[in-house]
Structures are given as structure tokens and as C-alpha cells.
Amino acid sequence: MKSGSNLEKVLESGQFAVTAECGPPKGTSARVIQRKGELLKDYCDAMNVTDNQTAIVRMSSLSGCILLIQMGIDPVMQMVVRDRNRIAIQSDILGAVALGIRNVLCLSGDHQRFGNHPTAKGVYDIDSIQLIQTLKTMRDEKRFLCGENISGEVPLFIGAAANPFADPFEFRVIRLAKKVAAGADFIQTQCVFDIGKFGRYMSMVRDKGLHEKVHILAGVTPLKSVGMARYMRDNVSGISVPDEIVARMEDAKDAKEEGMNICLEIIDQIKEIEGVHGIHIMAVAWEDIVPTIVNKAGLLPRPIV
Amino acid sequence: MIVAERKPMEEILNMIAVFKKILILGCNTCVVVCSAGGPKEVEILASIIRMARKKKGEPIEIGEMTIERQCEPEFLESLEGIVDKYDAILSMACGVGVNFLADIFSSTIALPALNTSFMGVTEKQGVWSERCAGCGNCVLDKTGGLCPIARCSKSLFNGPCGGSVNGRCEVSPDIDCVWQLIYDRLRKLNQLDKLEEILPIKDWSTAGHGGPRKMVREDLIT
């Protein structure tokens, strides 16, 4: 075991993992995190806490993770390189490990231009692949990037993101291979709507044997409304929502139910793809639906490892 | 070249509001090419300021002059005895020129008429874009001659982020994803294997994060 986290244990035991996502509040209320924790606790193996997603200032991922740990939940601390240089990154990792965080997801981060402080200076001292390398160096060599020793263990389960739907498509698997070579233990993908494209991607992943070196969790997002489906299709870079899915949402009597059904169908198809070891549910502003989805997908009870 | 553009007139007029006699000083190198600070722009700016001040009932006396380069001492020294006759110099050079004026003429007020934008190229008439960030440690041999530091919105070293779609950057459809360009070019050159290498963490100390930069060439010092 590299970290002993619940997520690592579930994946290493060969079971199909479920992770969910918790967006922290634009405020100081611990209750927001605690409510999402209570809601999702029994329906996932670990919960991601986002790091100022879409560059909007929110409660820090590290603090959100601590609130989850206090509830007995295994958190995945998301960390973007947009806002921290190598000094802050390594410092935050030391603190996170000291407080019991074991899973860290390494990300570039949405550009600050999208957020509520679009005139901020982006840091980007290192990139997301170099962040993976940094955490691996800290864990395996117990050294900082400068070469100095770290006192104490750094047990981490290192995660990275992959987007099979961004361009250039042929490069996406090479990029995944780089993340694996850098030291990624698990991958959470961008949300899958285009199952055909995801299947082609996974076939290229298997050709390179990457599915045997890293645990891949496919991202899924239940669509809550027709507007959301259209918005994600037309306005979110790097997400591919096929027209037939948007059409199904448009034709549905009950859009929410249809969104959930589409999500369940995608999960069913994902489960059949060789090399996918779990799902990551990103129910943006619709966390309440997650228990139903996990239940209907036949993924309960969650394993005790 | 260094690409610059004139500041908004309101900002310039506020900057010189208290002065009665200024010298507008053009620069005849980079900023001529990007039509921001050569003799023609000096003339135009001078007449706009004169009109604005006249309208306000606060006329101003303006000297107009352009020197070859405001970044070299031999050209700035030709201003000796001239600058003292003015309340301030409004430089139409890049920020380098304004700084050097301030360095050399310690008792003269030096003001910027331009915003210095970037180091870049003329794409076509009226369109300029950035190509180099001057980071002091070039990696272009690894990236097909296209710079991920200057041209990727996140200065990523190891390929495009998840926001690259149809060759465009997530930040704006007006921005090319340089990693798409790098990928296409290396594929054409049969060098895609270069993209499999993980580029190491960069030493930014040469990029201005090690303090202001200076270069000394002993062999050239006389």
C-alpha cells in the first residue's frame, strides 16, 4: 500500500470503485460540506473536494477534506497548479498528510480568466504532470524538489485527470502515458457522454498496456435539464455531448428522470469496458441524485476494506 | 520586435495635466513597425493633446522629436541640453525607453505614452501577436520551434490541457492552442516521439523571478 487510503484499498482489491464530488461553499459554513458528506457517505468510496473550480473562489480543498475526514470519509484533495508555486504546493502537501489526507488529484486547473477574479496572475510554476512527479518524489524518495530530506512519511495515493474528449485526440493517450510514467496511481476522466469515443480511447489505452499500470475511473455527470445538456454541449471546452443525448433530454416528459436514465445507461456501458476500474460521479449542483444513481447502478453496498 | 500600443487619451491627458511644456519623444525602431511610437504617431499625439488642452483653456507647448532608439546611450545622450527645457518628457518608446530616460536624466520627469504589450510578430497589416516570453532558457528544440511558455495560456510543458478543442484554447476561440500546433508540426516532421518525453520543472530564475536580469559580455567591454 502506498497510502492506505480507502480508495486505494478498494481499487487494489480489484473492486469497482465509486467516487463522488463535493464542491465547497463560497463562504465559511462547514455545514455545506458536512451535509454533502452525510448525503454521500455510504454511496462512495472517496469524495473529491474541488480546488476553486472554474477559478471561482471557494473554501479551500484542504479544509473541505478535513471536514470530511472528521466524518470518517476518505477525501480526495484536488490541487491545481494555477494558484500555487512549488513552495506552496509542497507545503500544502505536508500539511494535508499531517491532517490525514491520503488521496491527491493533480490538475492544471481552469484558467483564471473563467472565474470571478479574471484579472488575477496565474502561477503555473509547474504543470500537472510535473505536479505528479513532485508528489511521487516526496512520497518515494522522501525528498523535496530541491533534494532536501523530508522528515516523516508521505503516504499518498496520487491521482491525475484525463480528458479523452479534448484535442488532439491521438495525443490524449500519449499524455495519459506521460502521467502514468510521472507516477499517477489513479485517473479520473472528464465526464463521459460520448461512449463511442471513450471506447476508442480505452482501446488505445489497452494497446499501450496503461490499464494495467493505473486505475482508471470514468467520469459521469447526470444531466439535470435540457438547458444543462445544451450548455455542456455548446459552451464547455473539452466536453463532448452527442446531439442524440441532447435530443433525448429535449423529448423527455421528465428531463430529470431522463438525465438519470442516460447516466445509468452510460454507467452500464462503462462497466463493460475492459480497463475501467470505477466511476467518478460529478453531479454538479445535483448531489441529491447520487445515492439513487449508485443504488440503481447496482453498486451498493460499497465495500468495506 | 517589441510590440506596444498607445495608452487611452484620457490617461495620457491626466498624466500631463499639470505640465505646460512637454517633449513628446518617439522611438524609431520597434514601435515604428507596430505604428505606436514613431515620428508619425508623435505628430498625431501632439496635435490631439494640443487640441484637448486648448479646448480646456489650458494651452500647452509641445516639442516633437524622434530618436533612433531610446534603449541605447549614444542616442539618448543626444538629448543632453534639450530635456531641461521641458517640464516632462512623454516617451513613445516601450517601457525600456522610459526607464532609460529616467536612468540617464535624473532630474527630468519621464512619462509613458504607450503600454508595452509583448515580444511578437506582425501577422499581417494591423495584427501583431506574441511569440517569445524572454524566459532566458529556450526549449524550442523540444517543441518544434513553437513556444509553450509564451503561447500556451497556462505555460504548460507537457502537452495540452483538457480545454484544447478544434485547435483552440479554452481561454478564447481567438487563441490557437499552441500544443495542437506543436503536435501537428512534430507529426509532419516525424518527431512525435519528442512529445513522449516529460519536460522537467523549469528554472524560472532566468525568467525574471531571480531578480532583475543583467548580462555581461567581458569580451565586448572596452
pLDDT, residue B222, reads 87
Whether the CA torsion B147, B172, B174, B167 is positive or negative: it is: positive
Q: How far from chain centre, in Å, is Cα B160?
A: 27
Instruction: Collect all residues of chain A within an 8 Å Cβ-Cβ radius of residue B165.
Output: 166-167, 237-238
User: A166 and B164 in contact by Cβ < 8 A?
Assistant: yes
* Nearest residue in chain A measured CA to CA from B193: A174
In whole angstroms, give the CA distance from residue A241 to residue B59.
Answer: 63
Closest partner CB to B180 (pick from A129, A168, A182): A168
Q: Is the pLDDT of residue A67 over 90?
A: yes
User: A167 and B166 in contact by Cβ < 8 A?
Assistant: yes
Phi-psi region of A167 (alpha: psi -120 to 50; beta: other; left: phi over 0): beta
The number of helix segments (H) and strand segments (E) in chain A equals: 11, 8
In whole angstroms, give the CA distance from residue B134 to residue A62.
Answer: 35
Burial class of residue A154 in the structure, from the number of CB atoms within 10 Å of its CB (0-12 exposed, 13-18 middle, 19+ buried): buried
* Nearest residue in chain A measured CA to CA from B166: A167
Work out the minimum CA distance from B109 to partner chain A, whole angstroms: 30
Work out the minimum CA distance from B195 to partner chain A, whole angstroms: 8
Q: Is the pLDDT of residue A289 over 90?
A: yes
- Domains of chain A (ranges; CATH) run 6-296 (3.20.20.220)
Mean pLDDT over residues A219-233, rounded? Answer: 96
Please tell me what DSSP assigns to residue A117: -
User: B156 and A182 in contact by Cβ < 8 A?
Assistant: no
Does residue A221 sit at the B interface (CB-CB below 8 Å)? no
Q: Which of B170, B177, B185, B187 to mutate to test the interface with A (most CBs of A within 10 A)?
A: B170
Burial class of residue A190 in the structure, from the number of CB atoms within 10 Å of its CB (0-12 exposed, 13-18 middle, 19+ buried): buried
Q: How many beta-carbon pairs under 8 angstroms link A with B?
A: 104
Taking each helix axis from N to C end, the angle separating A195-207 and A169-182, rounded to the nearest 10 degrees, works out to 50
In whole angstroms, give the CA distance from residue B141 to residue B175.
Answer: 23
* Nearest residue in chain A measured CA to CA from B202: A126
User: A166 and B198 in contact by Cβ < 8 A?
Assistant: no
Q: Which of A124, A128, A111 is nearest to A176 (CA)?
A: A128
pLDDT in tens, A69-85: 999 999 999 999 999 99
In whole angstroms, give the CA distance from residue A93 to residue A97.
Answer: 6
Mean pLDDT over residues B42-55, rounded? Answer: 98
In whole angstroms, give the CA distance from residue A204 to residue B205.
Answer: 39
Q: Is the pLDDT of residue A238 over 90?
A: no
* Strand, coil or helix: A107: strand
- List the single range of A206-210, A278-282, B162-166 with lowest mean pLDDT: B162-166
* Start-end of H helices in B130-218: 148-151, 178-188
Element (H, E) at B120: strand B114-124
User: B158 and A237 in contact by Cβ < 8 A?
Assistant: no
> Buried b vs exposed e over B175-210: b needs ≥16 C-beta within 10 Å?
ebbbbbbbbeebeeeeeeeebeebbebbebeebeee
pLDDT, residue A112, reads 97
User: B198 and A113 in contact by Cβ < 8 A?
Assistant: no
Q: How far from chain centre, in Å, is Cα A182?
A: 18
Amino acid at A267: I
Phi-psi region of A279 (alpha: psi -120 to 50; beta: other; left: phi over 0): beta
Question: φ and ψ at B210, to 5 degrees?
Answer: -100, 15
Mean pLDDT over residues B133-137, rounded? Answer: 96
Grid coordinates belonging to A53: 473550480
The bridge status of strand B114-124 relative to strand B127-132 is: antiparallel
Q: Is the pLDDT of residue A88 over 90?
A: yes
Q: Is the pLDDT of residue A237 over 90?
A: no
Mean pLDDT over residues A161-168, rounded? Answer: 96
Q: How far from chain centre, in Å, is Cα A276?
A: 14
pLDDT in tens, A15-32: 999 999 999 999 999 999
Q: Is the pLDDT of residue B158 over 90?
A: yes
Q: Which of B156, B172, B194, B195 to mutate to test the interface with A (most CBs of A within 10 A)?
A: B156
In whole angstroms, give the CA distance from residue A103 to residue A119.
Answer: 31
User: A129 and B155 in contact by Cβ < 8 A?
Assistant: no
Number of residues that make up chain B? 222
Does residue A178 sit at the B interface (CB-CB below 8 Å)? yes
pLDDT in tens, B7-22: 999 999 999 999 999 9
Work out the minimum CA distance from A171 to partner chain B, whole angstroms: 8
> What is the residue-averaged pLDDT of chain B?
97
In whole angstroms, give the CA distance from residue A221 to residue A232.
Answer: 11
Mean pLDDT over residues A230-234, rounded? Answer: 95
Work out the minimum CA distance from B151 to partner chain A, whole angstroms: 13
Number of residues that make up chain A? 305
Q: Which of B13, B24, B172, B187 is nearest to B98 (CA)?
A: B24
* Start-end of H helices in A111-242: 128-136, 169-182, 195-207, 226-235
Taking each helix axis from N to C end, the angle separating A243-251 and A255-271, rounded to the nearest 10 degrees, works out to 140
Amino acid at B39: P
> What is the residue-averaged pLDDT of chain A?
97
pTM assigned to the model: 0.96
Does residue B156 sit at the A interface (CB-CB below 8 Å)? yes
Instruction: Provide the chain A residues 66-105 that lie in CB contact (below 8 A) with chain B.
Output: 81-82, 86
Cα B175 to Cα A34, A101, A220, B152, B153: the distances in Å are 41, 38, 29, 9, 9
Does residue B193 sit at the A interface (CB-CB below 8 Å)? no
